[in-house]
Amino acid sequence: MIKFKRQSTSERIVLFSYFLVLIGLGTFLLYLPAAWNGPARLRFVDSFFTAVSAVCVTGLVTVDTALYSLFGKIIILLLIQFGGLGILTFTTMFFVSVKNRKVSLRNLQTVRNYYLDSIEFQAHNILRNILIMTAVLELTGSLLLWFRFRTTVPEASFFTALFHSVSAFCNAGFSLFPDSLEGYSSDPYLLIVIMLLVISGGLGFLIFNDIILVGRKKKKRYALHTRIVLISTAILILSGTIGFLLMENNGTLKEMTGFSKLINALFQSVTPRTAGFNTVSQGALKNSSKVLTMIFMFIGGSPASIAGGIKTTTFAIVFLTLLKEIDWQGRIRIRDRVLPQKTVTKAILFMGKAVIFLAVSVFLLTLTETNGAGNNGSEFMPIVFESFSAFGTVGLSTGITSSLSTVGKFVIICTMFAGRVGLISLSIPLLKEHNEEIEYPEEEVLIG
């Protein structure tokens, strides 16, 4: 039984328009001479690249962020903030202002897509909770980081702390230091603060809301969504830490002490999902570590969060689909709950589309970088790594970003935009156009 449907284009138009306007404004402001302190005039493609990377909270850069003036750095900071919260806060504010401060039944479906049935649907409350939580976490992070930066960068300690706090919570990965956080690889205090901010931004507001409700005894148990997110996040962080510790013990971690090795392995496990800060050179990682990093960049954070990637729940559902048997209705049982067939199908399709996006990006870069980063087989890995990082809106790089051709930079720009906005637009629900039903005959197709 098939029902004809059409995509809800209005929400997509709002979503794309917001990001395109923000990118356009950011590109213009960053291209102004007042925004740049470098030795030569900033190229337009580089200001465009930086704006897209900031709005899409990626962190890939073609020029050193430290070379921007204070005005330019403030613009980047604002682009990160508005880009990071744009998916949730802007759509909610749009519903409030356009729909006479009420969420219509049609737009309510989009909100429910992020907040599920157990979450408050009032637009004011959603927006208020997002802004309060963001402000509290970012300001707390800024104060904690300020205690460290006031001794290492006393000339601009609080702004440096604020910049890195916002960048970490928004999972952007932008740093005011040329080597990211490699200079702080032996500073567990700073790395732990950054990791907590990254994890908080990558978990999502829904998770915090559920934890608070259970903590206040307003709910007896966590939602299945919360349990899947927390368990999958813990497994990924733990397995990644062990993996990087074993693979890089005699590599990038060789010169570190035992505790520093553990903290840096933990940091390398957290940052690909999807923060982009690094304490060790990504180009110096072993190929096995790079592959593990790319897997984490592809998975990303959790739904209703600032993180990118296909999300932990999507990966978990696809993994369970491969691991467990599906019943005759296409459902998967998880302890005392059952995932409906539509959720399983959506996760598989979502991941499949992500793989296609990523494959196209890698293929195009192999064409555009024939005279640069991709001129032989030994340099194919950096191209794949760059595409994974851009698509997952991570920001980690083996060092080829600045040497990309102009066309290659535009490929990465499109990849960042697709990874940030394109995938989320696919999750906006379909709307029924009419109730006409047409039944077609079934026919088998061989599989495998």
Q: Mapped to the 3 state alphabet, what secondary structure does 217-247 carry?
A: CCCCCCCHHHHHHHHHHHHHHHHHHHHHHHH
Contacts of 52 (CB under 8 A, 6+ apart): 23, 27, 58, 413, 416, 417
Q: Over 60: is that where the pLDDT of 100 sits?
A: no
**For residue range 327-370, what is the model confidence (pLDDT) as tens digits?**
666 667 777 777 777 888 888 888 998 999 999 999 999 999 87
Alpha-carbon span 154 to 136, nearest angstrom:
24
**For residue range 284-321, what is the model confidence (pLDDT) as tens digits?**
999 999 999 999 999 998 887 788 888 898 898 888 88
Q: Give the three-state DSSP class for 2.
A: strand
**For residue range 146-181, what is the model confidence (pLDDT) as tens digits?**
999 998 887 778 999 999 999 999 999 899 999 999
Quote the DSSP letter at residue 418.
I
Specify whether the backbone of 100 is left (phi greater than 0), alpha (psi in -120 to 50) or beta: left
Taking the CA atoms of the chain, what radius of gyration do you get in angstroms? 22
pLDDT at 308: 84
| Six-digit token string for 341 | 């067939």
Alpha-carbon span 231 to 228, nearest angstrom:
5
Q: Over 50: is that where the pLDDT of 375 sits?
A: no
- Neighbour-count burial of 45, counting CB atoms closer than 10 A to its CB (0-12 exposed, 13-18 middle, 19+ buried): middle
**For residue range 218-230, what is the model confidence (pLDDT) as tens digits?**
778 888 888 889 9
Over residues 423-441, mean pLDDT: 58
Please give the model's pTM, rounded to 2 decimal places. 0.87
